[in-house]
Amino acid sequence: MSKTIFTRKSVDIKEVKRRSYREEAKCEYTIEKVIELPEKEYSAFASSLLKDNEIVKANRNLMYVDANEVWHCILVKVAGHKDGILVEAEGYDYARYSAYFEGGAQS
């Protein structure tokens, strides 16, 4: 299973990337759904992670931390690209927890 550092209430993708290199325990995660956006829409999403978002709202039921402490999240990325943002909203309509996803194998 894949592991990453989820950041709480990061403002944008720059902050997510900066905070992702902290020395903290990584969380196991699984991607429940991949959402591909046109580049312009992804840029708007990535630059305002704390803003309520219809994509996050529509997929809230897919995002949670289970009894085994595995983070179930969505991956939001540009169509055709490998990198993106992992989101676990904790029941909110915005990306309350987020992590940078650097392509590669998906769970």
Model-level pTM? 0.90
Residue 103: pLDDT over 80: no
Q: Mind listing the pLDDT tens digit for each residue in 60-91?
A: 999 999 999 999 999 999 999 999 999 999 99
Q: For residue 21, which phi and psi values (nearest 5 degrees)? A: -100, 10
Average pLDDT, the chain: 91
CA distances from 61 to 25, 49, 77, 89, 92 (A): 25, 18, 19, 9, 10
Confidence of residue 104 (pLDDT cuts 50, 70, 90): low
* CA 51 – CA 70 distance, rounded (Å): 25
Q: Mind listing the pLDDT tens digit for each residue in 44-66?
A: 999 999 999 999 999 999 999 99
Residue 106: pLDDT over 80: no
